Structure 1
């Protein structure tokens, strides 16, 4: 048995967890948290949500490129379909955005919540929201490229 089914499973599962988590946070949790919670409670909630979610995103950020590159190199870069190359490029952009969020605004959010600096925390959360919105859109585009790409080329 070749490892390709395992790579595909790890790849797709990681994408589902990452993109699905962003969808839930951005579309479902964010509007309710913004509507129902005052800034201190809202910022504490987000800091705790991200602390749990980002553990899973780190796994995805590792497994998606490793499994994707394993499948890509098995087929060969020159013979791989165009949509595979597009997935790789968009995926690298998504990882870069995640790294920016984790080491930038999320680190500031954690610091601000610990210091009870709600204005700074709100600004950090606003940056995270924008970056997650961009990454969510890129994730949906990547899924479209993955599933529809060979018929669009």
Structure 2
């Protein structure tokens, strides 16, 4: 159980922390310093390095979460409300990430490669909105995970 919880928390920290850094720190700095071609190229390369970590986090979160749900709580019936809510918000985050990966991120990569900056800007704006939603969900999930058992 201790290993599963540790891996689960580390995966969440990597994913949510990465989104927080990208949204709150990197995005405003890139907007203020870089012209669209450099900014889009930067984001393409940032996502190229960050998204494999998100894939790993997603797999670890899902694997350890389901293992704890069934091995520790005995299934959905044995889990308290906060575990159900964590699962729901986590699955929503995963669905949003999968959409980002398979749709706007792919289009962003193609636009940057073709130097189609307006198209790349549209894709980056969509990714930004979706990551913003995921960041909010991630922070809510962390709050539920850390405080839910005490309510």
Q: TM-score, normalised by structure 1?
A: 0.96
The total of aligned residue pairs comes to: 149
Instruction: Report what 2:20 is aligned to.
Output: 23
Instruction: Report what 1:130 is aligned to.
Output: 129
The answer to whether residue 1 in structure 2 is matched with residue 34 in structure 1 is: no
Cα shift at 1:79: 1.4
Cα shift at 1:147: 1.0
Listed one character per residue, the Cα deviations across residues 44-78 of structure 1 (whole Å, up to 9, x for unaligned) are 00000000000100001111011001001011221
Instruction: Report what 1:121 is aligned to.
Output: 120
Cα shift at 1:106: 0.4
Contiguous gaps of at least 5 residues in structure 1: none
Q: TM-score, normalised by structure 2?
A: 0.97
The answer to whether residue 103 in structure 2 is matched with residue 104 in structure 1 is: yes
Q: Which runs of 4+ in 1 moved over 2 A?
A: none
Tell me which of 55, 63, 69 is aligned to 2:60: 63
Q: CA RMSD in A?
A: 0.7
The answer to whether residue 90 in structure 2 is matched with residue 91 in structure 1 is: yes
Cα shift at 1:9: 1.1
2:78 partner SS: coil
